[in-house]
Amino acid sequence: MISITLFGASGRMGRAIAEAATGRSDVGIVAEGGDVFVDFSAPDALQGHLDAALAAGKPILIGTTGLGAAHRRAIDAAAERIAVIQAANTSLGVNLLSHLVREAAARLSEDWDIEIVEMHHRMKVDAPSGTALMLGRAAAEGRGVDLDAAADRGRDGITGAREAGRIGFAALRGGSVAGDHQVIFAAEGERLELGHRAESRAIFARGAIAGALWLHGKPAGRYAMADVLGL
């Protein structure tokens, strides 16, 4: 049994993680001093949560989205001393989608435009979603575009993705949608569409718990959900 300390415990994701952990024998939620820290809160709170994990010498999974270049640098610095997973989306399906998008982008010529459309509930703060940016990054990597070189020019290299990879983003907000993402490859006369629909936050919660279990006992370093899921 490992214990998880949750940052953002009273939020939508925090409550979903607590619910997903209920009744499990391998994981429990504790108010402080857990074996692994899990953060689903807000970008402003990231540094404080990294500092808490560093002070305790415990690994941390960061699910918070809307992070910028300065946040990424802080995560890189923390990962020199503790194990860190930063994942804009912790679901198995989306991480597999990301893999498929990278493969498709690598095989299709630049005659194919890439457009990423996402829809979320009306309360979501950041747009495009962290997952849309993650998919854009995967598409850009497939095309051989170095987004890190452009990372300081926009959040998560979005400007770089738009300019260098010619990848477009559209964000819709409304109702209670947990998270829909569609990646459209469009050429003259044909379209290829890859997508994922999250029906509830439970899928992110289960993935976050899988990530926390995987992180326990791992050496310092920066990891991804792809490592957890063996993709």
Residues catalogued as catalytic = 120, 124
d(CA 195, CA 127): 18
Residue numbers belonging to the annotated binding site for (S)-2,3,4,5-tetrahydrodipicolinate: 121, 130-131
Q: Which of 41, 95, 98, 182 binds ligand NAD (CB under 6 A)?
A: 41
Choice between 3 and 89, CB closer to ligand NAD = 89
CB of 4 closer than 8 Å to CB of 38: yes
Q: How far is the CB of 5 from ligand NAD (least distance, A)?
A: 13
Smallest gap from residue 109 Cβ to ligand NAD (A) = 32
CB of 218 to ligand NAD, least distance (A): 19
| Three-state SS at 94 | helix
Residue nearest ligand NAD (C-beta atom): 11
Where in 97-156 is the site for ligand NAD (CB under 6 A)? 130
221-223 and 83-86 as β-strands: parallel, antiparallel, unpaired? parallel
Phi, psi angles (nearest 5°) of residue 133: -65, -40
Q: How many angstroms separate the Cα of 70 from the Cα of each of 67, 83, 107, 155, 212?
A: 8, 19, 33, 10, 24
Binding site for ligand NAD (CB under 6 A): 8, 10-14, 40-42, 44-45, 63-66, 87-90, 130, 204
